Amino acid sequence: MTIALTGYPDEMQHSFTEAPRDASLYNEDLAPVPVNERDWGWFELFNVWANDVQSLFGYTLAASLFLTYGLNGWAVFAGIVLAGFIVMGLVNLVGKPSVKYGIPFAVMARASMGVRGANFPALIRAVVAIFWFGVQTYFASTALALAMVALIGSNGPPIFLGLSAIEWIAFLGVWAFQIALFWNGIEPIVGFLNFAGPFVYVVMVMLAIMVWIEVGNDLWRELGTIFRGTGSYQGNPLAAFVAVVGTMIAYFAAVVINFGDFSRFVRSEHEMRKGNLLGLPINIAFFSLIALIVTAGTVAIWGEALTNPTAIIARVDSLPLTILAAVTFFAATVGINLVANFIPPAYDLANLMPSRINFRVAGIITSAYALVIGGLWVSTISQIGILGFVNTLGAVLAPVYGIIIADYYLVKSGKLDVDQLFSAARDGPYFYSNGWNMAAIVSFILPAIFSVLTVWVPMLSTLSGFAWVIGAGFGGVFYWAIAKR
Q: Which residues of 352-362 are buried (b: 16+ CB within 10 A; e: fewer)?
A: bebeebbbbbb
Q: What is the pLDDT of residues 159-201, one digit of tens each?
A: 999 999 999 999 999 999 999 998 888 889 999 999 999 999 9
Lowest-pLDDT range, 83-87, 139-143, 174-178, 452-456?
452-456
- Residue 195: give its domain's CATH number: 1.10.4160.10
Q: What is the pLDDT of residue 271?
A: 97
Counted residue by residue, the chain has a size of 485
One-letter amino acid identity for 186? I
In a domain, 76, yes or no: yes
Over range 344-371, report the average pLDDT: 93
Q: Is residue 10 scored above 50 in pLDDT?
A: no
Angle at the Cα of 339 (from 337 to 341), degrees rounded to 5? 50
CA-based nearest residue to 286, from 364, 376, 383, 208 = 208
CA-based nearest residue to 189, from 44, 365, 88 = 44
What's the pLDDT band for 112 if we cut at 50, 70, 90?
A: very high
Q: Is residue 121 scored above 90 in pLDDT?
A: yes
One-letter amino acid identity for 309? P
In a domain, 381, yes or no: yes
* CB neighbour list of residue 60: distance below 8 Å, 6 or more residues apart: 307, 308, 309
Over range 447-451, report the average pLDDT: 90
Q: What is the pLDDT of residue 3?
A: 39
Find out whether 315 and 84 touch, Cβ atoms under 8 Å. no
Q: What is the pLDDT of residue 425?
A: 93
Q: What is the pLDDT of residues 234-278, one digit of tens each?
A: 667 888 888 889 888 888 888 999 999 999 999 999 999 999 999
In a domain, 93, yes or no: yes
Q: What is the pLDDT of residues 276-335, one digit of tens each?
A: 999 999 999 999 999 889 989 988 888 888 888 877 877 877 888 888 888 888 998 899
In a domain, 110, yes or no: yes
d(CA 435, CA 118): 9
In a domain, 432, yes or no: no
Find out whether 374 and 159 touch, Cβ atoms under 8 Å. no
pTM of the predicted model, to two decimals? Answer: 0.90
In a domain, 452, yes or no: no
Domain of 201 in residue numbering reads as: 39-386
What residues are paired with 16 via a beta bridge?
3
Neighbours of 154 (CB within 10 A): 7
What residues are paired with 17 via a beta bridge?
2
Find out whether 407 and 479 touch, Cβ atoms under 8 Å. yes
Q: What is the pLDDT of residue 303?
A: 85
In a domain, 4, yes or no: no
CA-based nearest residue to 223, from 282, 280, 313, 288 = 288
Return the HEC string of the chain.
CEEEECCCCHHHCEEEECCCCCCCCCCCCCCCCCHHHCCECHHHHHHHHHHHHCCHHHHHHHHHHHHHCCCCHHHHHHHHHHHHHHHHHHHHHHHHHHHHHCCCHHHHHHHHHCCCCCHHHHHHHHHHHHHHHHHHHHHHHHHHHHHHHHHHCCCCCEEECCEEHHHHHHHHHHHHHHHHHHCCCHHHHHHHHHHHHHHHHHHHHHHHHHHHHHHCCHHHHHHHHHHHCCCCCCCCHHHHHHHHHHHHHHHHHHHHCCCHHHHCCECCHHHHHHHHHHHHHHHHHHHHHHHHHHHHHHHHHHCCCCCCHHHHHHHCCCHHHHHHHHHHHHHHHHHHHHHHHHHHHHHHHHHHCCCCCCHHHHHHHHHHHHHHHHHHCCCCHHHCCCHHHHHHHHHHCHHHHHHHHHHHHHHCCCCCCHHHHCCCCCCCCCCCECCECHHHHHHHHHHHHHHHHHHHCHHHHCCCCHHHHHHHHHHHHHHHHHHCC
Lowest-pLDDT range, 17-26, 206-215, 254-263, 448-457?
17-26
In a domain, 133, yes or no: yes
Neighbours of 27 (CB within 10 A): 19
Angle of the 105-113 helix axis to the 119-152 helix axis, nearest 10: 160
Q: How many separate domains does the chain show?
A: 1
Half-sphere exposure in the Cβ direction for 17 (13 Å, CA)? 11
Q: What is the pLDDT of residues 42-87, one digit of tens each?
A: 999 999 999 998 887 788 888 888 888 778 888 888 999 999 999 9
In the chain, the percentage of residues whose pLDDT exceeds 70 is: 93
Mean pLDDT over the full length of the chain: 88
Q: What is the pLDDT of residues 148-158, one digit of tens each?
A: 988 888 888 88
What's the pLDDT band for 97 if we cut at 50, 70, 90?
A: very high
Over range 31-48, report the average pLDDT: 95
Q: What is the pLDDT of residue 307?
A: 84
* CB neighbour list of residue 458: distance below 8 Å, 6 or more residues apart: none
d(CA 18, CA 198): 40
